[in-house]
Structure 1
Amino acid sequence: MDKSLLQQQVLDRLAEDLLQVEQAARAAHEAATHEENIAENKYDTLGLEAAYLATGQARRAEAIRQAMADWRNFRPRPYDASQGIQLGALVCLVDSDDKQQQLFLGPHGGSMKLVSGVQLVQVMSSEAPLGKAMLGKREGDEVSIQIAQIRQQFEVLWVH
């Protein structure tokens, strides 16, 4: 699997997200400043609410711009078994039910899922609980995380 292609997919998806957020921010700003939304009394908060929404959308757009800059500057390195899993690794985990999942450890991740060939690849940040737990692990190692009352365990099947 080509990590540079996965990286480009992440950048493309972030660009789409940015476009949507910028459009939402513009619409919220227009609503906040529209003459029909000028408060007539202290209970008339539509314009204020739209202003809060526009501010939140602008912050989200800035966060996406920063994520894009981080991904553009990111250079995934080949896997080095002596260091174990590091940022940029493509990892395949298997759980106790033999269900496999492929993860791409990047500077930002969240809920982004990519397709590489016929494989689904989850983008994950090294700050996520599972991302943190994988750092330094090698093929054959166990990775364990606790989420609420449930302990999840995985085996590192392979790393690229």
Structure 2
Amino acid sequence: MDKSLLTQLVLERLAEDLLQAEQAARTAHETATHEENIAENKYDTLGLEAAYLATGQARRAEAIRQAMASWRQFRPRPYNASQGIQLGALVCLVDSEDKQQQLFLGPDGGSMKLLSGDQLIQVMSSESPLGRAMLGKCEGDEVSIQVAQTRQQFEVVRVQ
């Protein structure tokens, strides 16, 4: 699996998300500033609510821009068994029910699922609970995380 291609797919998805967030911010801003939405009394809050929404969408767009900057600078390195799993690793985990999952460990802001060929790949940050638990692990090691009241365990099958 080509990690550079995965990185490009993440950037494409983030670009799509950015366009949507910017459009949503523009729409909310237009609604907030439209003359028909001027409050006539203290209970007329449509303009105020739209302004809050526009602010939230603008913050979301900025977070996506920052994530894109991180992903543009990101250069996944080949797996080094002496260091174990690090940022940029493509990891295959298997759970207790023999269900496999492919994970690509990348910078913050890229949490998403991608389809590469016929494989579903979960992109996650090394700051996520599972991402942190995998750091430094090698093929054959066990990884466990606590989710609510349940402990989930995985085995590292393959790392690239």
TM (norm. structure 1) is 0.98
Alignment match, 1:134: 134
Q: Is the 8 A contact 2:14 2:110 kept in 1?
A: no
Q: Shift of the alpha carbon at 1:110? A: 5.8
Alignment match, 1:46: 46
Deviations along 1:90-132, one digit per CA (max 9) or x if unpaired, are 0000001110000000002564111122111000100110000
Q: Letter of the aligned partner of 2:119 in structure 1?
A: Q
Distance (whole Å) between structure 1 residues aligned to residue 117 and residue 89 of structure 2: 18
Q: How does 1:7-86 map to 2 (within 5 A)?
A: 7-86=7-86
Q: Is the 8 A contact 1:109 1:123 kept in 2?
A: no
Distance (whole Å) between structure 1 residues aligned to residue 13 and residue 110 of structure 2: 12
Aligned length: 160
Alignment match, 1:94: 94
Distance (whole Å) between structure 1 residues aligned to residue 30 and residue 119 of structure 2: 42
Deviations along 1:29-77, one digit per CA (max 9) or x if unpaired, are 0000000000111111110000000000000000000000000000100
Q: Percent identity?
A: 86
Matched, 1:106 2:145: no
Q: Is the 8 A contact 2:111 2:125 kept in 1?
A: no
Q: Letter of the aligned partner of 1:11 in structure 2?
A: L
1:112–1:106 Cα change, 3 Å? same
Structure 2 unaligned regions, length at least 5: none
Q: Is the 8 A contact 1:113 1:120 kept in 2?
A: yes
Q: Is the 8 A contact 1:86 1:105 kept in 2?
A: yes
Distance (whole Å) between structure 2 residues aligned to residue 51 and residue 72 of structure 1: 31
TM (norm. structure 2) is 0.98
